[in-house]
Amino acid sequence: MDTIETPFTPETGRQFWPPLPEAPAGELVEKARPGTLILLPFATPSLPVEALFRAGSKVLAANGEPLPLLMLSAQLTAIDKETIQKAFLGLGDALKGNQPLHQHLANLYRTTCPQCRASLQADYFVWQREMADPQQKALRCADCGFAGLAPVTEADLETLDRIETRGVHYHFLLARAVSAQAAEENALRVRLEALHDLYTPRALYAIAELIMKIEATLTDRALQRVFKAILFNCLLPASNLIATPGQQSLPKRLKPPARYLEANLWQLFQAAVSAWQPPQQTVRFAPRLDDFLQQHQNAVCFFPDEAGSLRRYLPEESVTVLAADLPPPGPVRWALSTLWSGWLLGLKAAEMASPFLLQKWPDWLWYQRQLSIMLRILRASLEPDAACWLTASMSSRLQAPAIILAALQAGYDVEAWDIEQAGHRIWLTLPGPDLSPPMPLETLAGMIQAEARETAGLFLQKQPSPISDDAVYWVVWQSLLYSGLLVQTLTSLSEKRRLTWIDKQVQAALSALDI
């Protein structure tokens, strides 16, 4: 298949779940042994599942959100590139009216070169957030060599005007994301309707057409799964949230920038198909959980529900390794996950993801409590010397402290907490630490602030400038863990107060050092 050049990066999966760096991924794979059971309670494509399978382990991947399991199962589906190319060509040749789909979608972006008047596709259109139409188009003309931006013409606007703003395709996508029975004032419906406004009518039309044709044309379920994953890779760069073609990260908020780009979705899809990589070897899937648990050969089993629901199926002390790469929580990730789950997988999938959509944020107590409940439920399923391994990114200051407190509250001991440029790595062991009698809060506050000041002062003396405030903050929390002061808070403070109270003491200590 020819490589399709596009200025955009159709890698929504990698932007949502960046792969683990080589060192921590290799460290996890070293824990895998033939026949052992590895539990991934928050399974995402960032984890090296294929390598764990190749090492001989049985991998149980659980997630209550549908999108991570779609992407992960597609990445592990052994369909060679020749078969994918053949399916792509068949998909493109499927008729839309009296035209092949590839021609129909390409014509949505058809324009003319301002220099030689040749007909060609625009790479993208440039919009201003407060204006009703695009103002510029980006072109690369093979005939005359023109490459750059040109003003949008009346013909370009006529093409756009032929697409209904709230037409059949819009309602097709909306019905997959929220029930048609939901009242117009229903909070979930209002939220999801607003999320559709993150796409131009042309983008919604093209996405809907591709989903319709994937489901109608690709009757093989595995192949359909792969092509939905490929389309998923296009959904972020196809949105109105992209300010520059090379944008590599999720936006921080769900509002188009003042100047945003509308990518050519058909080019994106072609590029994503070309870039798709099947696994290095065939991965054995176990469709039934009970069969998977009884067999000894390596396999991967997907559990499309919260990992806590596994407790009724997992024998006691059966899990050798528990591993999770915990993505940073927040409304952008939750909203897009709900929207895209519905589009790609249907209403049931959207409903599975939607509880997060209305979750108020920030609410680190809620996050800490949910994680603690999950870890507590799974504790009985772990072998006495099980390896428990959690990672988190550096994008949120309070995520790692919340994880540490959740683990301690759930009855685990924190053996180690590494803070590296690539992220946080946390090792848990059983049983949990011995608890001390409660301590007066005034005394405990003085001890925590003194420990924080001493730790921060020593850290700053050893580190070259400049050093981030977050780095100092995390090192202080790490010291509170190793000194036993975090464990002391388990009996001295309620779960509801613990995280915010400790954070307040740390902030007070660092403020005294003018940090």
- Domain co-membership, 390 together with 409: yes
Q: Which of 139, 137, 146 is nearest to 261 (CA)?
A: 137
- Domain co-membership, 271 together with 284: no
- Domain co-membership, 291 together with 409: yes
Domain final position from 232, 249, 275 = 275
Length of the chain: 515
The single-letter DSSP state of residue 59 is E
Containing structural domain, residue 451: 441-512
| Contact (Cβ atoms closer than 8 angstroms) between residue 476 and residue 504 | no
Q: Is 5 within the bounds of a domain? A: no
Q: Is 299 within the bounds of a domain? A: yes
- Tell me if the bond preceding 362 is cis, omega within 30° of 0: yes
- Domain co-membership, 411 together with 265: no
pLDDT of res. 2: 41
Q: Is 1 within the bounds of a domain? A: no
Say how far apart CA 429 and CA 411 lie, in whole Å.
9
Q: Is 2 within the bounds of a domain? A: no
Q: Is 349 within the bounds of a domain? A: yes
pLDDT averaged per 10 residues in sequence order, the chain, 515 residues? 62 91 90 95 96 97 96 96 96 94 97 95 94 93 93 95 93 94 82 96 98 96 97 97 87 94 96 94 94 94 94 95 94 96 97 90 95 96 96 94 98 96 93 94 97 95 85 97 97 96 96 77
pLDDT of res. 180: 83
| Contact (Cβ atoms closer than 8 angstroms) between residue 111 and residue 139 | yes
Domain final position from 407, 429, 451 = 429
Q: Is 222 within the bounds of a domain? A: yes
- Domain co-membership, 118 together with 69: no
Alpha-carbon distance values, 389 to 29, 87, 148, 427, 509 (Å): 11, 39, 48, 5, 30
The CA radius of gyration of the chain, in Å to the nearest whole number, is 25
Q: What is the CATH number of the domain that holds 66?
A: 3.40.50.150
pLDDT of res. 5: 55
Say how far apart CA 161 and CA 156 lie, in whole Å.
9
- Domain co-membership, 269 together with 336: no
User: Which string of DSSP letters, residue by residue, matches 321-375?
Assistant: EEEEEEPPP-HHHHHHHHHHHHHHH-HHHHHHHGGGTT--SS-HHHHHHHHHHHH
- Domain co-membership, 176 together with 196: yes
pLDDT of res. 515: 61
- Domain co-membership, 128 together with 111: yes
pLDDT of res. 481: 98
For residue 296, give the amino acid letter. H
Say how far apart CA 160 and CA 132 lie, in whole Å.
11
Alpha-carbon distance values, 26 to 37, 55, 59, 299 (Å): 17, 11, 16, 19
| Contact (Cβ atoms closer than 8 angstroms) between residue 353 and residue 68 | no
Say how far apart CA 7 and CA 15 lie, in whole Å.
16
- Domain co-membership, 265 together with 386: no
Residue 501: Cβ within 10 Å count = 18
- Domain co-membership, 325 together with 451: no
Q: Is 289 within the bounds of a domain? A: yes
Strands 136-140 and 147-151: antiparallel
Residue 267: Cβ within 10 Å count = 23
Domain final position from 387, 408, 429 = 429
* Helix, strand or coil, per DSSP, at residue 196: helix
pLDDT of res. 450: 97
Q: Is 4 within the bounds of a domain? A: no
| Contact (Cβ atoms closer than 8 angstroms) between residue 403 and residue 328 | no
pTM of the predicted model as reported, rounded to 2 decimal places: 0.94
- Domain co-membership, 259 together with 283: no
Q: Under 8 Å CB-to-CB from 234, ≥6 apart: which residues?
A: 10, 12, 265, 268, 269, 272
- Domain co-membership, 115 together with 205: yes
Task: Domain count for the chain, please give it.
Answer: 3
